[in-house]
Amino acid sequence: MTSLLLGLAAPAAAAPSPSAGAPQSAAPGAGQPVCTPDSQKINEISGLVATATGYMAINDSAPAGGKARIFTLDAACKVVGTPINYDPTARDPEDLAVDKNGTLWIADIGDNTEASGGSSTPRPTVAVWNLPQGAKAPVINRLAYPDGKKRDAEAMLLNGDGTPIIITKDPVGEIWVPEGPLQPNASKGVKLTQRGTFTPQETKTANPLAFLGWKAITGAASSPDGSRVVIRTYSDAYEFDVQGGDVIKAITTGKPRITPLPNEARGEAITYSTDGKQYITASDVPSDVKAPILKYTPQNVTPGKGGGAVLPTPKPDDRSFLEDLTLQDITYMVAAIGVLGLILVVAGIIGIRRSRAGRRAAASSTGPVRGSARAPVDDDLPPSPDDNTTGTVYGARPAASAARGASAGGTVYGGGGGLGGGPQQSDPRAFDHRPGYAPPSYEPPGGFQQGGYPPQPGPSQGSVYGGGGGGRYDQRGGYPGDHDGHERGYAPHR
């Protein structure tokens, strides 16, 4: 471990960067594979730095039940030595950097949205960890955003004086630095202050996330001599010249040179080679996917012109609405849809409550419920003023008044009272025992069956599930009694 960091502490002399010259005329191609890490040990590579003998890398999440770890890889990408654990464990480490003294810095600054598997609650603090040469474990330095809002970040740079610089992924491109000195192991975070923004371009470079990949900032690195810095998205690398160690000024006022990083599996990490001549990149992929570490020669590409990123810049009228959306725009749209859905649900509940209240009010004044209606004695006769007006439920119709031989009681689920016999009547109308229908007075022998109508005299009370009001006998041999009402066709005699 010490020898690796010593290799980091002695940066190579600044080599002339290919990106510092004139724009390249040839369209850049895919990166060249260097080696492939063992995906069962390290696969979600979110931070990477080159060393004299290989690489140091971090996963952006800890294994189930385990701690986040820092891995040492040789030049063939094989894990060597014992991985270094965090104590306590890092929550979401996303980038690595090394300063001029050889101290390794780990950016524990991720805070995924719910859509990305994170929490809706913002982290109270983020952190940068530092691992000096010879140290056995990194030391935590907590930081806090002043407004307490949720921010997801995956890129960190070091200013010329060693101050960490955080560049957010969501919202896109906010640049944050600590207001004061770091406080190792302090429980309270040093307040961060925003120092500008960096806005990636719509390069049209092919990548697995399409237009989202053009704007998602996933990593950053400084050249070994500190004269250049690079910020990457899922699709491209943006390199800036740095004067006097002022990295923030370079990013916020300088013009970047763009190197496409087309079609990486899910490219997140970036670093410079130890001689500063190439970019080295790595991907965050599932454990069953093998993604090689790649190298690129820096370019100076103007998107959409000559050897552009991949595709020419479309005309304004050819641009789709979706292509102009940023991650923040999409977040706001999802939130707006959620609010609209909530409004519709509340409106629906209010409508249901009002509808129920209206039905209850109607029922309290003996009004009909759900399609009930008063019926005359016969279809060709008008209703009598003294017809029963007791409400019915689910389609039942009350019969006419007792004076005309009808039941005065309400019915439930189609029950009806009335004169005459049941279906055994010789009068054809007696067979018409629709809910609430009362045929003319007629009393046959044998009474009536379930759903029939009671004989004279007088009304009986309501019935349940098709029963008919009062009568002397029924199909079941008669049921004597002086009480009113019956269930399922039982007819008391009067």
> Model confidence over 163-174: pLDDT tens digits?
999 999 999 999
DSSP state of 150: -
Is the model's pLDDT at 48 over the cut of 60?
yes
Share of the chain above pLDDT 70, in %: 58
Question: What does the pLDDT look like over 327-348, one tens digit per residue?
Answer: 544 554 555 566 566 777 777 7
Whether 455 contacts 474, CB under 8 Å: no
Mean pLDDT, residues 303-323 taken together: 41
Question: What does the pLDDT look like over 95-153, one tens digit per residue?
Answer: 999 999 999 999 999 999 877 778 889 999 999 999 998 899 999 999 999 999 999 99
Tokens of 130: 């530092």
What are the residues facing 228 on neighbouring strands? 241
Q: What local confidence, expressed as pLDDT, does residue 87 receive?
A: 83
Question: What does the pLDDT look like over 166-217, one tens digit per residue?
Answer: 999 999 999 999 999 999 999 999 999 999 999 999 999 999 999 999 999 9
From the list 269, 289, 160, the residue with the least C-alpha distance to 221 is: 269
Q: What local confidence, expressed as pLDDT, does residue 330 receive?
A: 54
Q: Give the pTM.
A: 0.61
Tokens of 237: 């690398």
Q: What are the residue boundaries of the structural domains of the chain, listed by start?
A: 2-319, 326-365, 370-494
Question: What does the pLDDT look like over 224-235, one tens digit per residue?
Answer: 999 999 999 999
Rounded Cα gap, residues 107 and 217, in angstroms: 14
Q: What local confidence, expressed as pLDDT, does residue 66 receive?
A: 77
Per-residue pLDDT band for 298 (boundaries 50, 70, 90) equals very high
From the list 454, 461, 463, 466, the residue with the least C-alpha distance to 421 is: 454
**Domain 2-319 CATH assignment equals 1.20.1740:** no
Taking the CB of residue 481, how many other CB atoms lie within 10 A of it?
Answer: 14
Is the model's pLDDT at 75 over the cut of 70?
yes
Helix (H) or strand (E) holding 214: helix 211-215
Whether 418 contacts 384, CB under 8 Å: no
Share of the chain above pLDDT 90, in %: 47
Q: What local confidence, expressed as pLDDT, does residue 144 receive?
A: 98
Per-residue pLDDT band for 416 (boundaries 50, 70, 90) equals very low
Mean pLDDT, residues 46-65 taken together: 90
Q: What local confidence, expressed as pLDDT, does residue 246 receive?
A: 98
Q: What local confidence, expressed as pLDDT, does residue 364 receive?
A: 55
Q: What local confidence, expressed as pLDDT, does residue 371 receive?
A: 42
Per-residue pLDDT band for 38 (boundaries 50, 70, 90) equals confident
Q: What local confidence, expressed as pLDDT, does residue 68 receive?
A: 87
What are the residues facing 56 on neighbouring strands? 49, 72
Question: What does the pLDDT look like over 437-480, one tens digit per residue?
Answer: 444 444 444 444 444 444 444 444 444 444 444 443 343 444 44
Is the model's pLDDT at 274 over the cut of 90?
yes
Question: Which segments of 313-432 does DSSP mark as H helices, in order?
Answer: 327-364
Rounded Cα gap, residues 309 and 320, in angstroms: 19
Q: What local confidence, expressed as pLDDT, does residue 117 receive?
A: 77
Rounded Cα gap, residues 200 and 214, in angstroms: 7
Per-residue pLDDT band for 361 (boundaries 50, 70, 90) equals low
Whether 415 contacts 463, CB under 8 Å: yes
Q: What local confidence, expressed as pLDDT, does residue 158 receive?
A: 98
* Ramachandran angles phi, psi of 354, nearest 5°: -65, -40
Rounded Cα gap, residues 178 and 194, in angstroms: 9
What are the residues facing 220 on neighbouring strands? 231
Rounded Cα gap, residues 331 and 114, in angstroms: 10
Q: What local confidence, expressed as pLDDT, does residue 304 receive?
A: 52
What is the chain's mean pLDDT, rounded? 73
Is the model's pLDDT at 299 over the cut of 50?
yes
